[in-house]
Amino acid sequence: MGFFVWMLAQLVVATGFSNRDTLVFASLLAVNCALVYFLPRGGGRDLGWRLRLLFYPVAMNLLYFVLGTAIPAIHSGHEDAALQAVDRALIGTNLSIRMQPWVSPVLTDFFSFCYMLYFLYLILGQFSYLFGDLAVLKKYYAGLFSLYAVGYFGYSLFPALGPYVAMGDQFSVPLGGGWLSALNEKIVLSGSNSVDVFPSLHCGNALYILLSDYQHKRWRFWAYLVPCIGLWLSTLYLRYHYLIDVLCGLLLGWLAWKMANRYLREQPA
């Protein structure tokens, strides 16, 4: 809810009350407040809790696309130069450039597959927990959507395009690949909101879901472990993220998981 309030205040100042994005944030905030007030909170009100919590995957995934116009309204320009400067301070250059000797069609297809598999893993994670144990669901959503909110806040402070676009002229080796790579590239370029780089929620969300699955759905942890590692590497190999994006995303994912487990321990039995 804090992110809704912060973005709404920023949009009202920047664009006024009648702007489409302002109205979207105001509407979502109103719906969130109504759900908190009207839907039952008691431990035995199982369906009410699930309906209330269902708001968050719907709202936060909808907001991803709204941010493509909302963030430029409150923060003009992109911060790729600042993120590139951090990477240079860390490793002296851009890691995607350093990875160019690895580039091959087979690797590009493999990493493209890992990158696309994230979307399926994210959706499965959100909805499989929705129909499971209620206490675990509350914990899982508390951590995951807090992670979303912090990530979106990062987008608003450091909107960026990523190396693939912002540093395109600095790469000397094309990624290549077959139809799988072409499909992934088309999905990413057409679906991006052009501000979604820092921090990497691909990395943060995937780590959070992986750690949660290790606790509650061990079979899925082992099934996704290798593709998840491939996903983290793919964000750099495919030139979508800077190193600092990945590091901060992983840190946020781990912190969100720790926070969620603390939340569960503090809930009454």
pLDDT tens across 157-180, in order?
999 999 999 999 999 999 999 999
* Mean pLDDT of all residues belonging to the chain: 92
Reply yes or no on whether the pLDDT at 267 is more than 80: no
CA atoms of 149 and 4, how far apart (whole Å)? 9
CA atoms of 84 and 87, how far apart (whole Å)? 5
Provide the phi-psi class of 176: left if phi over 0, else alpha when psi is between -120 and 50, else beta: left
pLDDT at position 44: 54
Whether the full predicted model's pTM is greater than 0.85, yes or no, is yes
- Residue with the two structure tokens 């942890």: 221
Tens digit of each residue's pLDDT (9 = 90 or more) over 229-260: 999 999 999 999 999 999 999 999 999 999 99
| pLDDT bracket for residue 222 (50, 70, 90) | very high
* 193 touches 60 (CB < 8 A): no
* Residues sharing a CB contact under 8 Å with residue 160, sequence separation 6 or more, in sequence order: 78, 79, 80, 83, 166, 195, 197, 198, 242
Q: What is the dihedral of CA 229, 232, 236, 239, to 10 degrees?
A: 120
Residue 87 structure tokens: 């990477």
> Between 194 and 45, whose confidence is greater?
194
CA atoms of 166 and 194, how far apart (whole Å)? 11
User: If DSSP codes are grouped into helix, strand and coil, which group holds residue 147?
Assistant: helix
- Residue with the two structure tokens 């799988």: 180
pLDDT at position 269: 46
pLDDT at position 266: 63
> What is Dmax (Cα atoms) for the chain?
60
pLDDT at position 40: 65
pLDDT at position 198: 98
Tens digit of each residue's pLDDT (9 = 90 or more) over 52-107: 899 999 999 999 999 999 999 999 999 999 999 999 999 999 999 999 999 999 99
Residue of 147, 142, 128, 143 lying closest to 53 (CA atoms): 142
> Between 49 and 87, whose confidence is greater?
87
pLDDT at position 268: 54
pLDDT at position 42: 54
* Burial bucket for residue 146 (CB in 10 Å: 0-12, 13-18, 19+): buried
105 to 108, 210, 227, 231: CA distances (angstroms): 5, 28, 18, 17
pLDDT at position 174: 93
On the CB side of 209, CA atoms within 13 Å amount to: 29
